[in-house]
């Protein structure tokens, strides 16, 4: 079975925090191989980059199903404070993927493919509390790696170029329908009298910045929080998915509803 070292050779970013390496390699060797096997087989069709905007894209759903099939299932941790046999308060902490190993411990995993970046704070603080209560041994976060984040513009541009997309009419023949706001922002740059730019460039700029912008979940945002101590001292395994998982297929793009698009709030409309 593949190991995390094999993933590193394929471009995955792997970071152990707070003795997570010794815990995982010493106590969870087979379980770590399970996780590595799922990640090693990942493929991300370009049409899913174009047609799936939120955290529950087909790509994410496949990863979830494969982890669940290996015993990494959703769990809601309930922590209660009891005084003289009377429960005074309780809190719950839901984690999407929990793997229990009898006689060893518990791993908790969250997938943040394309969410708003404050979800990292939620995940890390959740892991910190659960670890402090002895509920988990290590927290795991899987997100877009820095190479994948950097490659998105070129990948989307290649999609449009390969399919000879020069207008929104061309995009619609491939199953992609923009929101009115997206259409207007792009056409303002394409049709302006001074320094107009090609449709494919304007659309790629708008699409990537709106959907996979800097305020969404990706490796740099995660590391920034960990470097500030968010989640400390919970042992963590952080995994960044590489650009090599992108596959250029010829399938149609699934149509998006406006509410499916993750918008980066830092993006300004082009004047």
pLDDT tens-digit map of 168-180: 998 888 777 788 9
Give the tens place of pLDDT for each residue, 39-59: 999 999 998 898 754 447 889
The mean of the pLDDT values for the chain is 88
> 101-106: long-range contacts at Cβ-Cβ below 8 A with a sequence spacing of 24 or more?
101/27, 101/28, 101/31, 104/27, 104/28, 104/137, 105/23, 105/27, 105/28, 105/136, 105/137, 105/138, 106/135, 106/136, 106/137
In this prediction, residue 79 carries a pLDDT of 82
In this prediction, residue 269 carries a pLDDT of 31
Q: What structural domains and CATH numbers belong to the chain?
A: 4-72+97-254 (3.40.91.20)
In this prediction, residue 215 carries a pLDDT of 93
In which band, very low, low, confident or very high, does the pLDDT at 72 lie, cut at 50, 70 and 90?
very high
Residue 263 predicted with pLDDT over 50: no
In this prediction, residue 218 carries a pLDDT of 97
State the DSSP code for 243: G
Beta-carbon count within 10 A of 260 CB: 16
In this prediction, residue 96 carries a pLDDT of 95
Lowest model confidence (mean pLDDT) among 89-98, 136-145, 148-157, 254-263: 254-263
In which band, very low, low, confident or very high, does the pLDDT at 262 lie, cut at 50, 70 and 90?
very low
pTM above 0.85? yes
Give the tens place of pLDDT for each residue, 224-253: 999 999 999 999 999 999 999 999 976 666
Beta-carbon count within 10 A of 58 CB: 14
Tokens of 135: 């509920």
The stretch 156-169 carries a mean pLDDT of 92
Contact 119, 217 (CB under 8 A): yes
Which region holds residue 52: left if phi is over 0, alpha if psi is between -120 and 50, else beta?
beta
Give the tens place of pLDDT for each residue, 182-211: 899 999 999 999 999 999 999 999 999 999
Contact 36, 7 (CB under 8 A): yes
Percent of the chain with pLDDT over 70: 90
In this prediction, residue 52 carries a pLDDT of 54
Closest by alpha carbon to 62, among 39, 33, 34, 32? Answer: 39
In this prediction, residue 137 carries a pLDDT of 97
Residue 82 predicted with pLDDT over 90: no
CA distance 95 to 76: 6
In which band, very low, low, confident or very high, does the pLDDT at 69 lie, cut at 50, 70 and 90?
very high
CA distance 223 to 47: 28
């Amino acid at each position: 079975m593949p190991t995390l070292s094999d993933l590193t050779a394929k471009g995955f970013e792997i970071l152990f925090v707070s003795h997570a390496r010794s815990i995982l390699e010493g106590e969870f060797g087979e379980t770590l191989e399970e996780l590595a096997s799922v990640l090693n087989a990942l493929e991300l069709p370009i049409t899913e980059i174009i047609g799936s905007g939120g955290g529950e894209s087909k790509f994410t759903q496949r990863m979830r199903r494969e982890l669940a099939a290996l015993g990494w299932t959703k769990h809601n941790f309930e922590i209660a404070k009891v005084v003289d046999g009377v429960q005074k308060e309780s809190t719950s902490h839901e984690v999407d993927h929990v793997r229990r190993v009898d006689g060893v411990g518990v791993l908790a995993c969250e997938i943040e493919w394309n969410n708003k970046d404050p979800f990292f704070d939620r995940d890390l603080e959740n892991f910190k509390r659960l670890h402090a209560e002895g509920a988990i041994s290590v927290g795991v976060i899987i997100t877009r790696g820095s190479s994948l984040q950097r490659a998105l513009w070129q990948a989307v541009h290649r999609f449009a170029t390969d399919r000879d997309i020069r207008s929104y009419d061309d995009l619609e023949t491939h199953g992609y329908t923009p929101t009115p706001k997206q259409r207007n922002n792009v056409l303002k740059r394409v049709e302006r009298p001074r320094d107009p730019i090609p449709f494919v460039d304007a659309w790629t700029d708008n699409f990537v910045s709106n959907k996979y912008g800097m305020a969404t979940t990706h490796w740099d945002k995660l590391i920034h929080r960990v470097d500030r101590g968010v989640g400390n001292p919970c042992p963590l395994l952080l995994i960044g998915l590489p650009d090599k998982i992108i596959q250029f297929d010829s399938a149609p793009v699934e149509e998006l509803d406006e509410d499916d698009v993750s918008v980066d709030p830092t993006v300004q409309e082009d004047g």
